[in-house]
Amino acid sequence: MIAMHLLKFQIGPVQDFIAQARSTRDLWSGSYLLSWLVAAGIRSLPALRSTLIFPNLHDQPLLEIDKSPLPADHTKLLTPNLPNVFIAKIEGDPTEIATAVKKAIEAEWQKIAEAVWNKRDVIHLPISCRDRYFSQVARQVSISWQSTPLESNYASTYKRNGQQLDAVRQTREFCAWDSCIDIAQHHNLSEKDSLSGKEEALVGGTNFIVQHENNNNDYCALFTKHADYLGAVSIIKRCWHLAYLKDVKKFKTSSKEFTIRSIPAIAAREKTHDDDEKKETTSGAERYIAAIAFDGDQIGKWVSGDFLPENADLEKHHASFSAALSDFAMNRVRSIVEPLGQLIYAGGDDVLALAPADRALDIAEKLRIAFCDATKHIIGKDADHPQPDASVGIAIAHIHSPLQDLIKEAQKAEKRAKNEVGRPAFSITLMKRSGEISYWGSKWSSGGLQLYQAIAKHLVEKKLSGKFPHRVTQLLTPYLTERSKISHQTNALNFPTFEIITREFAFAASQQGSVAIAKDLAPVLENYLKKLSGDPQKLLTSLIDLCTTVAFTHRTLPAVEKQSPVPA
């Protein structure tokens, strides 16, 4: 009898690799490149001796590109939708199969790098950089795998396999980082990559921009917006969609065929302006953009069966859960995000997207509803874990803020939602142009979202003055006893916080709107305050932070805009 093994692969790096971006196309490119490499590994699994457990095979265009003609509509095909982990049951020698899969991933990465290198003339990449270029390529992709003999108890095998892979990843081999003396001497470059800050730059600066401005080809717009210094990996991310996907694989990935909206276009709600174009779409008014980082809560424990009833069949659960995550990522996310925003990545329980600042929280809520609906058949073992849920981090900044900072802040906000606010929850980071950063977060069930939406609705409909959130903040701030970590006063005994907040809030709503609006908001405010901690300072700071957030996100709305709904 041929031995069966459980094989788990993991590719990295992920978050930093994606976040090292100057534009929305860079973001998409990094996400899609990781999905592409994962797909190459999955496709190399022996068809007759393996069964893919995770992710789900159904409706995954990236896994079918070698078997059928390319679809006329490339939308799904060009969606980064595969996680950086895949699990399979295999028959035969696990080392032989795993080695073949690893080589397939590395070979595909090498093909992509070579395709970009072959375009060095149009990229203006010096031929003398070849050794340095491929040296950086060889150091980039980290692949870890672990095989475990499949015993009769699938659950214990899966758990042991995960533990062993974690140990492998903690002790993995890595290539030493060498210096760039040859490049610096021959090309007067001593700069680091502007996006990663790690690799030595191979091209870049103002002279590099001038070289591209003198040409007229598809690559010009990719390199002329910013005087970045770029290493091999950043160069590949910048143009592999042309050099490899378009020219080698015949994908429709030129800017005319595959539009990825720019940051200003997303903020201005323009649907046709591509990221490669130079035109500035925004007016003189300040506009803000939001990054949304969506992530399922404790998905590892849901996958491992920790939250399932004791008699659950883990293998069947894996198939069912994998199908649910695939359905969410492939069939639900894009229709929620892209009427107004730009989808960057949708893989399983993870979503990364950009959206206008005032619509980000609405989109996040719709994503959470869709995720819970897709996984509603997954039933937990107790009331503490009834079914899978998700948390969201949102970062909002000016359209000219560094994009990679925005993405990293959204990822930090997502972790803050889980660990500080308390999953399932959302957390929002406001990155003001003055340099000030403020935060607000709430559990989905605490009433904060409903109060935010109620205030925002009246602001949009002009039933409340834009001064209302500022007025509430102005009225409540004097009651704070803790202004900073070093400025603290003792709370007054039996301080009537609830009554003061509701009175001041109603006064501001009446002054900046009407008595009817104040009455309309009163029960929503009361519900929110009752679900918060009884600590007076917690009540005050939570409402002040909420008002600061709604004021900031809605201050630059077009004067006559009627907001279109986000699809449910």
Residue linked to tokens 């003609």: 69
Q: pLDDT per residue over 136-191, tens digit each?
A: 999 999 999 999 999 888 989 999 999 999 888 887 666 666 655 554 444 555 68
Distance (Å, rounded) from C-alpha 445 to C-alpha 529?
12
Element at 370 (helix H, strand E): helix 360-374
Domains 4-258 and 283-445 share a fold: yes
Q: Are 465 and 513 in contact (CB under 8 A)?
A: yes
Give the CATH class of 4-258.
alpha beta
Distance (Å, rounded) from C-alpha 194 to C-alpha 421?
34
Domain regions of the chain by residue span: 4-258, 283-445, 459-568
Q: Are 292 and 306 in contact (CB under 8 A)?
A: no
Element at 264 (helix H, strand E): helix 263-267
pLDDT for the residue numbered 287 = 85
334 pLDDT more than 90? yes
Q: pLDDT per residue over 467-515, tens digit each?
A: 999 999 999 999 887 655 545 556 655 678 899 999 999 999 999 999 9
Q: Specify the fold of 283-445.
A: Alpha-Beta Plaits (3.30.70)
- Of 88-102, 194-208, 366-380, least confident by mean pLDDT is 194-208
Q: pLDDT per residue over 226-263, tens digit each?
A: 888 999 999 999 999 999 999 999 998 888 888 888 89
Distance (Å, rounded) from C-alpha 120 to C-alpha 133?
11
Q: Calculate mean pLDDT across residues 190-211.
A: 86
499 CB neighbour count, 10 Å cutoff: 9
- Tell me the Cα Rg of the chain: 26
Q: pTM of the entire structure? A: 0.90
